[in-house]
Structure 1
């Protein structure tokens, strides 16, 4: 995550706050107290400007205790002083105390000035910075990030989203603070905000990568979780598009696309907002389940959504397989030829596919009256294989040609033309296998 930019964003808030806090000084009415307040105010400012934060905290503390409403600058600068003191201290207990004081300064500021929206994101960032490695305090950071979102609707700068989810990750790892479902909901919410920022022109690639890495490190999403935790919820409400998209995304990542849950999610998405890809993949899943009629319906739908000849060729190729499995061989041939026409790279496969269709039609096309005519379909198959450059198919087809004796017996000669009949319906030049 871009911590540097997050710090710059937070400091810019502080600079604005300081500029606005120069007016309305409320000095103590007692002359001696006023003199001391002026002295300590000058002292802590001098120490702060010279970077001597450990020395600055003593006069600042006196002012916070004895003249708390002196000026909002005490609280704006107080954050800087206690943060600097925490960085300069060497004793662990003192470091912790100074870090706590940073957040306390924000609490005191809220009581006196009631302007939480101006600095809540800063406070959340400091809580994350100080407490992210502390099992007992990391939840303070998550709650402050959530308070920021409650007030502003989002986190700014956008890089704070990565810090927020890192705090969630740590709270989950340290304390099992959330259920897996709660983690996913938080992840999806943060991602939606990052999408909004991205649409507005912000570069969120690093933050999104951070979220994905942290979610993967939690090891809560796997095929069993998708099947057993998310699947039943979608089955109960198949119109839950948000859940369907989650399942689709996670199933693809985890390679669980052969599950019934994935198919159900795909159906929900495709019914709501069909695209070429969703309809095609859905059709392919039905093909895998041998539900060829359903697959055909989805491929026809995908064909209406195809935008390029290559996509149309894919669908015609898929439809060729559907027709073949439903016994519609003539339609299967037409679809295969169309696929080859739209995508020349498919042409060879199409002719080889047609050769196979013809070879498998021996029983369907056998009339039983002429062996030459019955065997002529294998010549048609040979021709298809030849167009495909499929030498193995050609050899198989030729082995089923009629023999010279069969041609002679029925009064034919090599080279004579005969129509195969049946769905093949081609006129072929007779040849023999021997």
Structure 2
């Protein structure tokens, strides 16, 4: 699965402009050291303004080593200097050293000023930016994102959530760092925060799409996981609509729709906000389980939610099967004909279906007083097969017509009319099999 490659590009970040006018400057008491500190402070700021990051390092490093408590601006601007230097450098070892220095500067800032909540999200962002492709260090980014969440309860800006889960994905891919359950827990937490941001008016569509792609790429969601990990949670809390929707979505994707867990999710969703599709699919699942009465109730519900004649035809066809399985053949016939009426593509199937029910009604319709009358149902079946254009069915039905001898014995002639009786209730013209 292709993963979005521009997560950082989505992060509109902070750290704009240079910091020069901080209060509480602690210049060295020694005049010569003070003069040098002022000179180097001006020098690194000039280099920083002109984006000459590699040149800015030398005076900045002198200040950090010789006057570390000069002002917090050293650490705020120091991050910019080393981040810029890491992009300007060409030697891989230098790049790695400069990137590490960015995080070290944050650590030094914490020791002196103890205001980690003010910049922890920035530090997490830089760790992700620098270490996301580093097998040994990507976990640092995850830890810093989680430290940010621990401090603030969430990640801001909202787009950092996608970066956080990408770091989780990479740590899992590189190091198998988490169990599937741990990944799902992290995923659910992030999505809950994205939902909160969305409710507050933030556009989180890109972040949510990225999360879905990353979760899919981890390949941890399969039928066994749905059944054994998500299933028990849903069974414990069957009103958990969010979980039900997740189970439904994953089960459809993984083709695990025959499980009890899928049915439970479907029930939760359908009870909360029924649609034609949820009610119909739920009814079909009950059909598969031979729970025909329940299936009928759901199909009736789906019929009230149907918006087109085609959908209504589908439900009448489903109801025909329900009635047939419950032995209600007359109602089954009515439903099949209604399906054909609303969708002409169902016509052949409907007449073959009716013919099949008639063919299976021999014992039910046998009166035992007249073989001609008893066999007349097969003529009715033949006529239905003929309407369907089902030649094989027609041949099968004709083979069970009464014989010429049976007609003669009972005083009938070919072409005479007779009512089949029973639920079939059709008047047919007699014909013989020979």
Please indicate, yes or no, whether the TM-score normalized by the shorter chain is above 0.5.
Answer: yes
Aligned Cα root-mean-square deviation (Å): 3.1
Deviations 1:164-208 (A, max 9, x none): 112112222444433211201222333445566677573735x44
C-alpha separation between the residues in 2 aligned to 1:343 and 1:148? 59
- Aligned residues of 1:158 and 1:204 also touching (Cα < 8 A): no
Query: 1:80: which partner in 2?
Result: 80
Query: 1:189: which partner in 2?
Result: 189
Verify: 1:291 aligned to 2:291, yes or no: yes
Query: 1:14: which partner in 2?
Result: 15
Q: Which moved more, 1:192-201 or 1:296-305?
A: 192-201
- Aligned residues of 2:159 and 2:204 also touching (Cα < 8 A): no
- Aligned residues of 2:28 and 2:67 also touching (Cα < 8 A): no
Change (3 A) 1:417 1:117: farther
Query: 2:205: which partner in 1?
Result: 204
- In structure 1, runs of 5+ residues without a counterpart are none
Q: Which moved more, 1:278-287 or 1:99-108?
A: 99-108
SS at match of 2:381: helix
Shift of 1:298: 2.3
Query: 2:364: which partner in 1?
Result: 364
Question: How does the TM-score come out when normalised to structure 2?
Answer: 0.86
- Aligned residues of 1:6 and 1:157 also touching (Cα < 8 A): no
What are the residue-to-residue correspondences of 1:108-123 with 2, within 5 Å?
A: 108-109=108-109, 119-123=119-123
What are the residue-to-residue correspondences of 1:284-363 with 2, within 5 Å?
A: 284-363=284-363
- In structure 2, runs of 5+ residues without a counterpart are none
How many residues matched?
428
Shift of 1:365: 0.7
C-alpha separation between the residues in 2 aligned to 1:308 and 1:193? 39
SS at match of 2:16: helix
Query: 2:25: which partner in 1?
Result: 26
Q: Which moved more, 1:356-365 or 1:29-38?
A: 29-38
C-alpha separation between the residues in 2 aligned to 1:28 and 1:281? 76
Change (3 A) 1:298 1:201: same
C-alpha separation between the residues in 1 aligned to 2:204 and 2:264? 34
SS at match of 2:418: strand
- Aligned residues of 2:43 and 2:56 also touching (Cα < 8 A): yes
Change (3 A) 1:51 1:270: same
Verify: 1:251 aligned to 2:251, yes or no: yes
Q: Which moved more, 1:140-149 or 1:68-77?
A: 68-77
Query: 2:235: which partner in 1?
Result: 235
C-alpha separation between the residues in 1 aligned to 2:82 and 2:39? 20
Deviations 1:235-273 (A, max 9, x none): 344444443333222222221222223223333333344
Q: Which moved more, 1:211-220 or 1:363-372?
A: 211-220
Question: How does the TM-score come out when normalised to structure 1?
Answer: 0.86
